[in-house]
Structure 1
């Protein structure tokens, strides 16, 4: 068993970091002042992701298999055929990203057979399927570890965060799309040019950007930088914030080198004994976990929602991507329950969703500098 860090909120934010060797743990920082939380809309059920349109409206996905359009506080169901969505446990309709043409959007969801990315075209409040962008991502019938969230990169490629579906060999198997961060062409679904395994004879491996992940919940790009960060669920300890490297192995291996099929969650989140070159996290929750979720940059800080922790964590980073301190705004500390989505709006505000299962909210954050 791994050594556990003592529980307690102060330790979570002050002493539970896993910096590079020789680094120091981040300190607790004062929460930002003047934070304003506005309830934009409510009545959602497990609101999973958010997309902004040029006219100011917002698309919101709901895990049971619905998409809502929010305009001026009014919520309108989108007429879209999502009859093949299988909502079980953690799975269902999940991530969403709007394409630059402002008409197409891509969602990620579980079917009876797989997890897939599907692109639709929106006309008013009706969405028509364009294509299956990527099919065959592994799926657990229970929905466990089905995390799947697409995000468009500044270079126009699409990054896709995936869960390992609690199958022991997936994270270290580069021919499996589970337990990975993928980088694909948003038009074809194929591996993007310049990917670390672009010369592989296996199409799935050509899509892989990083591997050895457990259940990645979100990927975000630091403004005016080439840095890419991910937020990832740990087992009973060690949620992780990772600075992604092309081709990097992040060290999760519940198969113990392929020696067992049992999903052994007593292995380290980043196993540097088995994988000396595994990339260490820039921050780790220690114990207890927060079930950190989506990440966004807001007011110069890395903002990450927490499901179990029911809070928003704000990370101050230095130029290299190391965590300097962490703060928790009181306005969102167990005030709205479980927090899931986080996307920075075009006007600079931060939108987040709650994920409590009934009357979930779309929240807008301003101020807090």
Structure 2
């Protein structure tokens, strides 16, 4: 396992003290006892994995397909997904299986249409899914090209649905209180009611909820500064490519967290510096099975083709970062990350051909 470093406002380094500031650098560390198994193949850009009470996996595929995985066998779910627009970064994305699925058979997804990004609640019967709330919530802005179409779903400790959205690569969206783009939303899972929890985000790709209720997000930077952030209700995270409305183009030379323009903005707890990793989904590893990795935050990376493991303090500060060699460039681009009912870590690859679901355990 190697250790990497990035700049952060509350980062305490325990290794790599000679690493260049603002970047990532390897450091020799003890080999991690990590085991990686392939549990499904033949997928295309799988975005999210959900777990059903009978042990099957439910997977969204970005081109507009739902799949059930049972003991390695993939079955396509029959569902009306004709309005999914899979273009660029957009398509069928986030998924959350409802806590009462055993009785309701319901799950919620997020996808691009020709007009917007929307949440839809479904009911699964056998290998067929029907829309029961369409939309659960609509009107999330979309870019026709699909750029910055992040739509990650997670359940908060209070049962609310958290939705991380992208800013659609438009200059004013992230700071516009009237827009649902460049935000984290907090919605009622049954009704879709609710609104903006935080603003000033570029493109939220991961939302991780710890058992004590702490929420961290993973977010794409431009050519520098991917971020991990602690979520604070009502907070601004400082992304403003409109420069306070003074420019009408998408100016990506602004800081990811612009403390000059927004002194009260929340600084990142970790930032990649340069180069970026294209961090994606995030989940806490929890359970005695993980040994000394119990409580670690696992974050996937697309461009970096790795998993970063963050040791996180009680308050959400990042103490150290490491990369297990078994998940460092070994499976290509990594997107989805979810903790299963067996406390194993499930990952999805996003290489575009014969993509996989991986199961990661402590060896």
TM-score (norm 2): 0.91
Q: 2:9 aligns with which of 19, 22, 28?
A: 19
Q: 1:227 aligns with which of 209, 214, 229?
A: 214
What is the rounded CA distance, in whole Å, between the counterparts of 1:34 and 1:361 in structure 2?
22
TM-align CA RMSD: 1.3
How many angstroms does 1:24 deviate by?
A: 3.7
Matches within 5 A, 1:63-142: 63-102=62-101, 103-131=105-133, 132-142=135-145
What is the rounded CA distance, in whole Å, between the counterparts of 1:303 and 1:335 in structure 2?
16
SS in 1 for 2:4: helix
What is the rounded CA distance, in whole Å, between the counterparts of 1:339 and 1:31 in structure 2?
23
> Are 2:300 and 1:310 aligned?
no
1:283-318 deviation digits (Å, cap 9, x = unpaired): 000000000000001132000000000000000011
- Structure 1, unpaired ranges of 5+: 1-9, 192-206
What is the rounded CA distance, in whole Å, between the counterparts of 1:231 and 1:40 in structure 2?
25
The answer to whether the 8 A contact 1:27-1:324 is kept is no
CA shift in 2, pair 1:332/1:39, >3 Å: same
| 1:321 matched residue in structure 2 | 316
Range with bigger deviation, 88-97 or 28-37? 28-37
Matches within 5 A, 1:81-230: 81-102=80-101, 103-131=105-133, 132-191=135-194, 207-223=195-211, 225-230=212-217
The answer to whether the 8 A contact 2:226-2:273 is kept is yes
- Structure 2, unpaired ranges of 5+: 17-26, 286-293
What is the rounded CA distance, in whole Å, between the counterparts of 1:31 and 1:316 in structure 2?
15
1:298-348 deviation digits (Å, cap 9, x = unpaired): 132000000000000000011111111111011111100000000000110
What is the rounded CA distance, in whole Å, between the counterparts of 2:213 and 2:34 in structure 1?
29
CA shift in 2, pair 1:90/1:364, >3 Å: same
SS in 2 for 1:365: strand
What is the rounded CA distance, in whole Å, between the counterparts of 2:67 and 2:34 in structure 1?
27
What is the rounded CA distance, in whole Å, between the counterparts of 1:25 and 1:174 in structure 2?
36
1:84-140 deviation digits (Å, cap 9, x = unpaired): 000000000001000012111100000000000001000111101001101110000
1:21-42 deviation digits (Å, cap 9, x = unpaired): xx54463573662211000010
The answer to whether the 8 A contact 1:182-1:210 is kept is yes
The answer to whether the 8 A contact 1:31-1:327 is kept is no
TM-score (norm 1): 0.90
> Are 2:338 and 1:343 aligned?
yes
The runs of at least 4 consecutive aligned structure 1 residues that moved more than 3 Å come to 23-32
What is the rounded CA distance, in whole Å, between the counterparts of 2:14 and 2:116 in structure 1?
39
SS in 2 for 1:27: coil
The answer to whether the 8 A contact 1:31-1:328 is kept is no
| 1:236 matched residue in structure 2 | 223
Q: 2:349 aligns with which of 351, 354, 360?
A: 354
What is the rounded CA distance, in whole Å, between the counterparts of 1:173 and 1:300 in structure 2?
35
CA shift in 2, pair 1:31/1:234, >3 Å: farther
